Amino acid sequence: MKRTGNHKKGKVRLPDFTALLKPYSSGWVALTPDEQTVVASAPSIEEAHEEAVKKGCPYPVLLQVFPPDRGFIGIPS
């Protein structure tokens, strides 16, 4: 995911993982450090991390995936 650099103007634009995470409905995913590829997924953060390390990614970015019918922080469901 390319970062925009809007932080200089007081605005931070977060990466949009919508397309990357679409195949996953819940649980945890482990991304490569460049946040371009999912290397593992599992029900728990520990399992996702362990699987990523086994696949050669010792420092994954871990994200929790929520079901599509659940809201996220700040967004009413």
Rounded to whole angstroms, the Cα distance separating 47 from 50 reads 5
Taking only the tens place, the pLDDT of each residue in 30-70 is 999 999 999 999 999 999 999 999 999 999 999 999 887 76
Q: How far is CA 35 from CA 2, 29, 32, 76, 77, in A?
A: 9, 11, 5, 27, 27
Handedness of CA 66, 68, 71, 73 (dihedral sign): positive
Position 7 confidence tier, pLDDT thresholds 50, 70, 90: low
Rounded to whole angstroms, the Cα distance separating 52 from 41 reads 8
